Structure 1
Amino acid sequence: METFLAVARLGSIRAAAARLHVTEAAVSAAVGHIEKQLGVKLIARSGRGIALTEAGRVYAEYCRGILGMMKEAHAAVRQAEVGRLRIGVVATAGESVVLRPLASFRRRYPAVELSLSIHPRDVLFLELQHHETDLVIAGRPPHTANLVIQARRPSTLVVVGDSPDVDPTTTTWLLRGTGSGTREATLALLDRLQIDPPTLTLGSHGAVIAAAREGLGVTLIHNDAVGEHIESGALTVIDVAGTPLDRPWHAVTTPTPTPVTRLFLAHLIDPAETGTAAFHAAGP
């Protein structure tokens, strides 16, 4: 399954072989063996590479979930204090919310193997559903996802720019890339305000803040991310109808979090350990 997933993700027998440090013949044989067992074609030629058939796409989704659950099962039987914790965060949370609790957790449990990945919101929740991440800190998960909100932390979305005198109906609005929850909130706000200002899409959280500081436009952003810039006077909050928006952070897991994930959640909601960065346990 790991071999097939490598082929599916990379779209190439050669690239999968290089990633797995095996021969191309070995990769082809492995995929062919699975196809023979299933009685269907999983891949087909597409230009110079390969593409998944419809059966291949379905099988790849099951493979992701099965392999993710196997790794989660290995982690579940280890002692929490020496386990592995994979945390996924959106960029804003990665820079302004999770670092302090993560640092204090590492000091408290130095034997835990930590990893932190930063992706758009949609990617994070898909990885969590496939058990490829243990815990996600982002906005609210999709209603259709079988995920559990374990804790929340208050936050608001505010409109900021380099001057309080800009006209939000005509000035440029700075947007995050596709898949960003903040981008979706911005477009929804513009729609509610029934305005159609020019927009500029920037690839990263840091670029949006830098562009706003340089006067390239205004942006809707979490107050956690711009507190220091507002205090220094580099940015100012702009009064826009319908803002600030209540957008709390959520710590989200699958219904069966591993012991080390539960250990981190207990740390995350403990003000004695995380101070003002503490989350609040979610109610039933």
Structure 2
Amino acid sequence: METFLAVAKHSSIRRAAAQLHITEAAVSAAVAYIEKQLGAKLIAKSGRGVALTEAGRIYAEYCRSILGLMTEAQAAVRRAETGRLRLGAVSTAGEYLLLRPLASFRDRFPDIEVGLSIHPRDTLFLELRHHEADLVIAGRPPRDAGLVVRARRASQLVVVGRAGRHLDPRTATWLLRGEGSGTRETTLNLLDRWQIRPPALTLGTHGAVLAAAREGLGVTLIHSDAVDGDVAAGRLEVLPMEGTPLDRPWHVVTTRTPTPAARLFVAHITDRERVGAAAFES
């Protein structure tokens, strides 16, 4: 399954072989064996590489879940204090909310192996559903995704621009995050509600959007947690727009069967005595 997922990830037998440090012949033989066992064609030639067939896409989804569950099962049978914790967070939460409680968690449980990945919201929840992550901090999870919200923390989305530039959000350039971002989706919905079509500039990452706003390249919708310091320092100012600020709390999300280490982290991040103002509410 790992070999097939490497082929699916790279759309290439050669690159999959390089990742796995085996020969191309071994990769091809492994995929052919799986196809024979399943009685279905999983890949097809596409240009210089390969592409998944519909059967291949379905099989890849199951492979991700199975391998994720295997890793989760290994963590579940260990003592929680010596387990493994795979955290995921959107960039704003990862940079402005998570690091302080994560540091105190590491001090408290030094034997837990912790990994942190920063991705757009949609990617994170997909990883969680495939058991490739144990706990995610992001916006609200999709309905009917089989995920459970364990804790919340209040937050607001505000429109900001460079202080002193007197930018009009109805005509200024809007700075957008990349595809898959919940904030981008909310921004586009707001522009539709306001019935305006201002120029837009997609910068992809949270850091790039924030830096562009500081330089006066435009305005953006962003979590107040990320700009409180800039507003206080006079680098950015909150701009009034109808319907804002928007209440958009942060959510701590797991599967229905969280690992012992994930349960420990939820208990830690909701302990106000240990994490102070960064605490979530269970």
Question: TM-score band, normalised by the shorter chain?
Answer: over 0.9
- Give SS of 2:198's match: coil
Aligned mates of 1:204, 1:92 — CA distance in 2: 10
- Give SS of 1:215's match: coil
- The aligned amino acid for 2:167 is V
8 Å contact 2:17–2:27 — kept in the other structure? yes
Q: Deviations over 1:111-143 (max 9, x none)?
A: 110110001110000000000000000000111
Aligned mates of 1:28, 1:214 — CA distance in 2: 51
User: Counterpart in 1 of 2:240?
Assistant: 239
Displacement of 1:105 in angstroms is 0.3
8 Å contact 2:163–2:234 — kept in the other structure? no
User: Counterpart in 1 of 2:263?
Assistant: 262
User: Counterpart in 1 of 2:68?
Assistant: 68
Aligned mates of 1:204, 1:155 — CA distance in 2: 20
Displacement of 1:40 in angstroms is 1.1
Displacement of 1:272 in angstroms is 0.9
- The aligned amino acid for 2:131 is H
- Give SS of 2:276's match: helix
Q: Deviations over 1:70-95 (max 9, x none)?
A: 11000000011111000010011111
User: Counterpart in 1 of 2:39?
Assistant: 39
Q: Deviations over 1:35-91 (max 9, x none)?
A: 111111111111111111111111111111111101100000001111100001001
- The count of corresponding residues between Structure 1 and Structure 2 is 281
Aligned mates of 2:53, 2:34 — CA distance in 1: 14
Structure 1, unaligned runs of 5 or more: none
- Give SS of 1:280's match: coil
Aligned mates of 2:137, 2:155 — CA distance in 1: 13
Aligned mates of 1:32, 1:9 — CA distance in 2: 17
User: Counterpart in 1 of 2:172?
Assistant: 171
Aligned mates of 1:96, 1:274 — CA distance in 2: 14
- Give SS of 2:50's match: strand
- Give SS of 1:144's match: coil
- Give SS of 2:51's match: strand
TM-score, scaled to structure 2: 0.98
- The aligned amino acid for 1:118 is I
Matched, 1:249 2:250: yes
**Residues 92-131 of structure 1 mapped to structure 2, 5 A cutoff:** 92-131=92-131
Deviant stretches of 4+, over 3 Å: none
- The aligned amino acid for 2:113 is E
8 Å contact 2:154–2:248 — kept in the other structure? yes
Structure 2, unaligned runs of 5 or more: none
Displacement of 1:216 in angstroms is 0.8
Q: Percent identity?
A: 71
User: Counterpart in 2 of 1:10?
Assistant: 10
Aligned mates of 1:25, 1:251 — CA distance in 2: 44
Aligned mates of 2:57, 2:213 — CA distance in 1: 41
Aligned mates of 1:139, 1:122 — CA distance in 2: 10
- Give SS of 1:261's match: helix
User: Counterpart in 1 of 2:277?
Assistant: 276
| Aligned-residue CA RMSD (Å) | 0.9
User: Counterpart in 2 of 1:153?
Assistant: 153
Displacement of 1:186 in angstroms is 0.7
Aligned mates of 1:57, 1:109 — CA distance in 2: 39
User: Counterpart in 1 of 2:221?
Assistant: 220
TM-score, scaled to structure 1: 0.97
User: Counterpart in 2 of 1:188?
Assistant: 189
Displacement of 1:29 in angstroms is 1.0
- Give SS of 2:204's match: coil
Displacement of 1:163 in angstroms is 3.2
Q: Deviations over 1:182-234 (max 9, x none)?
A: 10111111111111111111121111111111111111100000011011000
- Give SS of 2:114's match: strand
